[in-house]
Amino acid sequence: MNKIFPQLISAGAIIFIAIFAQYLTPFDPYEQNLARALTPPDSINLLGTDRYGRDILSRVIIGSQTTILSALALLAVISIFGSLIGAVCGFKGGKLDTFLMRLSDVFLAFPQMVFAIAAAGALGGGLFNAALALALIGWTKYARISRSLTLTIRKMPYIDAAKLAGTSSFGILINHVLPNIAGPILVTAALDIGTIIMELAGLSFLGLGAMPPTAEWGAMMNNGRSMLQTASWVILAPGFAIFLTVAIFNLLGDALRDVLDVKNR
Amino acid sequence: MILEVRHVKKSFNGRAVLDDINFSVDAGECVGIVGRSGCGKSTLAKIIARLIDYDSGEIFIDGELQMIFQMPEDSFNPRKTLGWSIAEPMKNRDFKNIPARVSDLLLEVGLPADYAKKYPHEVSGGECQRAAIARAISVNPKILICDEATSALDVTIQAQIINLLKKLCREKKIACLFITHDLNLLPKIADRVIVLHGGKIVDENSTAEIFKNAKSPFTKELIEGGLFWKI
């Protein structure tokens, strides 16, 4: 447990900030003050202000809510849905397996970001549609991983022992298959948090995610990109927030991999 | 008669793995099935245990059947305690007072009762196989299939496990189908030996007779091979 403690504390702190963001912002993140537009970091606005004079620190803090919580919600949906599909396919096999795996092949044939851009564009933009576009393609990865893990587990003698014990197929799936695929799936999901944050931010950066004035890290970078040379703090603050969050969740994923290996207990 | 196998055939991708297998096992009897790797021993065990289907033939089993597998650690779910796994067959058959019964079973196979709280990777191979025996006998089976149950263990532990199986089968009147590639293990446990070669039964006799008057050249080869290694 000690191995993962620092990563858990860091990730927990970020999630805490995201959940209680509205109570932690020093200023109203949406209040404009044109008199202080593009003020560099100073003692009043610690990370400076944007072109409308909005406090960037407050926007980064409130933006964590949009960015991280939407990424976590999206990740929960695709990892649970994808894993269940993969586990059932791997355990049952047959026509259902063939159909769902060919369907996932179709989705996997598209480059993920290109598909997400096309889907988000067709759906009409907005954070929900951007998340939906990423979910449409994101489940396939989890279905593939959980199916291959299930295929390996299905051949283990303890599954034969469970069958001889009289355990039903559903019981075997719940008690024997899912607990043994949960570790690798959880590690993949933890490592994926960073990727999903980047993808959601990427769609927002392209104008297909969060819509103005919603504070979202990708959208904030998009708004400040023309000022990179003149007022770099506008783009650096959300950029650093993305970097820090992605790095922390990646480290958490690595630590989880060690901790969840049952033989390391 | 506890088990009767009649004209059982099985092929994989057109290749016959078992060809017209016929034999029976009486109550309390221990029958050894011996043969080289790939001769169809484990396939036969899984077919009898209904873990895989067979192409044709008939199998009759009178009563509960349980199985002990080759790799002790792999036969337990790594995420569950030994106690949970030993209790699993009893839970599915609505046994009463299961935790106390798990403790009794562990003691019966020579393990401390607190091993119920241990995970498979926390115990040795021999201890794990003892726990597997506890799980197998938990539901009072009439026949026990031991598929290379001692092959992954060192010789000392092998002897302990064979003695334990022998004792339990005698005390509880459990018939045993002891599958192995090592003919020299069989005099220690089997009343009768069936020699399998290329998916067919090539020899069948009492254990003493098999060693004295082997009919099949393959059986002789197995006996001589065993002697060669003994030298």
pLDDT digits (tens, 9 = 90+) for B99-123: 999 999 999 999 999 999 999 999 9
Q: Which pLDDT score is estimated for B213? A: 85
Q: What's the rounded mean pLDDT across residues A154-182? A: 94
Q: Is the pLDDT of residue B230 over 80?
A: no
Task: Compute the mean pLDDT over every residue in chain A, rounded to the nearest whole number.
Answer: 90
Q: What's the rounded mean pLDDT across residues B176-184? A: 90
Q: Which pLDDT score is estimated for A258? A: 80
B228 pLDDT band (50/70/90 cuts)?
very low
Q: What's the rounded mean pLDDT across residues A75-79? A: 94
- Chain A residues in contact with B75 (beta carbon < 8 A): 157-158, 160-161
ipTM score over 0.85, yes or no:
yes
Q: Residues 144-183, chain B: which have Cβ within 8 Å of A?
A: none
Q: Is the pLDDT of residue B172 over 80?
A: yes
**Partner residue opposite A180 with nearest CB, options B51, B79, B89:** B79
Contact A209, A223 (CB under 8 A): no
pLDDT digit string (tens) for A98-133? Answer: 999 999 899 888 888 888 888 888 988 788 888 998
Q: Which pLDDT score is estimated for A77? A: 94
**Cα separation, A205 vs A228, whole angstroms:** 14
Chain B: nearest CA to A160, how far in angstroms? 7
Contact B85 A158 (CB under 8 A): yes
Q: Is the pLDDT of residue B231 over 60?
A: no
Q: What's the rounded mean pLDDT across residues B118-135? A: 94
Contact A100, A67 (CB under 8 A): no
Contact B189, B162 (CB under 8 A): yes
**Cα separation, A208 vs A224, whole angstroms:** 16
pLDDT digit string (tens) for B17-58? Answer: 999 999 999 999 999 999 888 889 999 999 999 999 999 999
Q: Which pLDDT score is estimated for B23? A: 95
Q: What's the rounded mean pLDDT across residues A71-94? A: 93
Contact B51 A160 (CB under 8 A): yes
Among chain B residues, the shortest Cα distance to A182 is held by B79
Q: What's the rounded mean pLDDT across residues B173-195? A: 91
Q: Which pLDDT score is estimated for A264? A: 61
Q: How many CB pairs under 8 A join A and B?
A: 60
B191 pLDDT band (50/70/90 cuts)?
very high
Among chain A residues, the shortest Cα distance to B66 is held by A164
Tell me which residue of A147, A150, A159, A155 sits closest to A99, measured CA to CA.
A147
- Chain B residues in contact with A176 (beta carbon < 8 A): 77
Kindly report which listed range (A167-171, B75-79, B184-188) carries the lowest average pLDDT score: B184-188
A174 touching chain B per CB within 8 A? no
In degrees rounded to 5, what are phi and psi of residue A211? -95, 150
Q: Is the pLDDT of residue B97 over 90?
A: yes
**Partner residue opposite A165 with nearest CB, options B74, B92, B119:** B92
**Cα separation, B191 vs B201, whole angstroms:** 17
Q: Is the pLDDT of residue B229 over 60?
A: no
Q: Which pLDDT score is estimated for A161? A: 96
- Chain A residues in contact with B92 (beta carbon < 8 A): 165-167
**Partner residue opposite B79 with nearest CB, options A165, A166, A262:** A262
Q: Angle A158-A256-A160 (CA atoms, 0-180°, nearest 5)?
A: 5
Chain B: nearest CA to A254, how far in angstroms? 20
Q: What is the pTM of this model?
A: 0.83
Which of A214-218, A223-227, B90-94, B216-220 has maximum average pLDDT? Answer: B90-94
